Amino acid sequence: MFGKKQESWLIVGLGNPGKEYERTRHNAGWRALDVICQKLGCKADKLKFQGLYTQLNYEGKKLYLLKPQTFMNASGRSVVQLSGYFQIPPERIIVLFDDISLPPGRLRIRGEGSAGGHNGIKSIIQELGSQNFPRVKIGVGAKPNEHQDLADWVLSGMSASDEKALSSALERAADAALCIMEHGVYEAANRYNGSTP
C-alpha cells in the first residue's frame, strides 16, 4: 500500500526587493514571512521561480515559503510559477501583505476576495485566474491626508510607535498563517481577526 500523498501548501510574503524597501509599509508581508522562517528554523534563500523560496515539512504537510523578487506589481508571476510547478491549488496558497485600511498592528484574515486596490494581490488574482486563496492582511495605517501620494506612503518607513505595533503584528500574522494550514481559515479568523497585542 502506498502512503497518502503529502498535502502541499505555499505561504507567500509580499514586498519589494532591495535594501531601501526593507522597512517600508509595503514590505510587511516579507517581514512576516521572515518571522515564519525564524519560527521554523529555515531560510527562504533558494533563487528560482522569480523568487526566493524554501521547502520543508510542517505538521505532516509539505510547506513552501516564498518571497517574490519581481517587485510588488508582478508578484503573481512568481506565485504562479512555483504553485504550478509543485501543483498547489489556490485554496492552499496563503498570502501575507500590507493593508492601509487597517491601523498598524491590526490583522484581518480572509479566505478569498478581490484585490481591494492592492497591486500585489491584483497580480496574483490575474496570474492564478482565481480569488479563492486565503490571505492575512497586516495593518500599516491609512494615509495621513488625501493629498499624500499612495505610492509614497506605502514605500515610506513608519514612526517608532507604528513600528512597535507592526512588530507584534508580524508575529501574530506568522502564527495566523500557520493556523490556517492546521485548522482552516475560520479558526484562524476567530483567533486573529482584529487582534492587537
Catalytic residues: 26
Q: Which residues contact 185 (CB under 8 A, 6 or more apart)?
A: 109, 110, 111, 134
DSSP 8-class letter at 138: E
Phi and psi at residue 158, to the nearest 5°: -115, 155
Rg of the chain over all Cα atoms, to the nearest angstrom: 16
Pairing between strand 107-110 and 135-139? antiparallel
C-alpha cell at 175: 502564527
Rounded to a whole number, what is the distance in angstroms from the first to the last CA of the chain?
48
